[in-house]
């Protein structure tokens, strides 16, 4: 059925993080305030060569609970609640844009959750369009999205991924 490259499996058969968050969980602490966040944006804006941006969008919704899950998530099929959350994300983008120099480009974009693929294709398209309207990207950005593979049979993955970047 499948051809499995055992050498490739052996190459990557090493311990690693359970999943990646940005920044990683050990870097979070109560001593880093909203004011520190804004100060860091201003500091990096004023650097001689401001670094490219890395954006993380947390979409906390899932259809069901995975028993192995350690994510901050909500089981919900309430599309109004999800729409309200997506609108809050757009408001946060608007707030963030007021602090960022317009010429800073995005080099990394990651969607995590829950599972961002719990959004309907039109909701994904709407949020991607909003992100693209508000940020400029480098030529070949790194894009990542956590998915719930159980949902891939429910929706056409081509209809979802074709609309991304």
Model-level pTM? Answer: 0.76
Highest mean pLDDT among 2-11, 102-111, 112-121: 102-111
Residue 30 has pLDDT above 60, yes or no: yes
Token code pair at residue 151: 């949902």
Residues in Cβ contact with 95 at an 8 Å cutoff, skipping those fewer than 6 apart: none
- Summarised one tens digit per residue, pLDDT across range 61-82 is 998 888 777 778 889 889 999 9
* Residue of 21 and 34 predicted with greater confidence: 34
Nearest in space to 144 (alpha carbons), one of 63, 12, 62, 55: 55
Alpha carbons 103 and 117: distance in angstroms, whole number? 30
Contact 44, 51 (CB under 8 A): yes
Contact 138/105 with Cβ under 8 angstroms? Answer: yes
Residue 156 has pLDDT above 60, yes or no: no
């Amino acid at each position: 059925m499948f051809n499995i490259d055992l050498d490739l499996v052996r190459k990557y058969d090493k311990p690693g993080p359970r999943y990646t968050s940005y920044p990683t969980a050990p870097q979070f602490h109560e001593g880093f305030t909203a004011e520190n966040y804004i100060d860091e944006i201003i500091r990096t804006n004023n650097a001689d060569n401001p670094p490219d941006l890395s954006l993380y969008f947390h979409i906390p919704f899932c259809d069901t609970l995975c028993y192995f899950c350690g994510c901050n998530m909500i089981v919900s099929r309430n599309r109004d609640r999800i729409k309200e959350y997506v609108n809050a994300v757009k408001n946060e983008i608007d707030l963030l844009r007021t602090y960022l120099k317009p010429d800073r480009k995005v080099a990394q974009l990651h969607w995590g959750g829950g599972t961002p693929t719990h959004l309907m294709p039109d909701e994904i398209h709407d949020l991607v369009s909003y992100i693209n309207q508000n940020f400029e990207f480098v030529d070949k950005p790194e894009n990542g999205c956590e998915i719930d593979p159980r949902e891939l049979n429910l929706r056409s993955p081509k209809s979802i991924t074709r609309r991304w970047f």
